[in-house]
Structure 1
Amino acid sequence: MAPTFPEKVIRYCPKCGSRDFVYHRDNSFLCGSCSFHLYINSAAAVAALIVNEKGELLLTRRAIEPQLGMLDLPGGFVDVMETVENAVQREISEELNLNIKEMKYFMSYPNEYVFGGLSVFTTDLAFICRIESFKNIKAEDDISSFEFYKPGDIPLDEIGSVSIKEIVKSFVKNNNN
């Protein structure tokens, strides 16, 4: 078990502050003092698969930790009370200054995102997106740059996240058949 897993990091009840906050095998904590019950659930995140007119896949470079400098798909966490579709549009606008013309759900993959010494478990939902125009594309927000790759030339070892690597591999395989 990784030292960043919640059961190794969380020590106090967030409701009453008691140390009698016990982890259970159903991915939950239960406070013996105030009976507060906290489940560790998966957070939703989105990723966009964007192909240009040459058939090349758009990948971004992370400007922040975790995985600073590694390749990624554009996307991010779904905000509270936000649909995944709105999250895809918001993230692509924030990170690349692009507008999505059309999107279609592709697949999901589980992920462990370590941030601040805590494992945050996500379900990464990938969408195939068509862009109105690449004319005003620019790297912003939490990406330092973007690169287009021919499907056979994608450096998978430079993709930081296991989930994103699996999504990209599936996308390439499905588009080469």
Structure 2
Amino acid sequence: MLTNPSFGLLFWQLTIFVILLIILRAFAWKPILASLREREESIEGALRQADQAKLEMQALKAGNEKLIAEARQERDRMLKEASEMSNQLIETAKQKATDEGARMIMQAREAIQNEKMAALAEVKNTAAQLSIDIAERILRRELSDSGAQKQLVTDYLQEVKLN
């Protein structure tokens, strides 16, 4: 019987199937399609949000890379400035040391020259004092005798007349 169905069986099966389709369409088909549509829209929205998030992440990554590059440039600039300032300070210190050394050498030369002049003046004064002392002793010895005094005056007068 199942292999050879009768017309009545087919009619009732077809009728039940159509009624079932109408009931399913009225009560189940629309909600199922609506939930599938909602699911599809939510998936599309999630994909759009994922794409938007991906674009934002790329923009943030590019911004971060730009900030990192700027920070590196700033660091390099600061290091260069620090190096230049260091070199300038070293050069300034060298120049000050050279100038101070030259000034100290000049002061030492002046001090040596002053000491030399003072020593020469002292030698001259000592020599003059010794000469005066010697002359005084000689004159005392020679002038102690009146004949020697007359002879000395005569000698001086002859020297003056010769000059």
Normalising by the smaller structure, the TM-score range is under 0.3
User: Which structure shows the higher strand fraction?
Assistant: 1
TM-score (norm 2): 0.15
Higher relative contact order (CA 8 A, sep 6+): 1
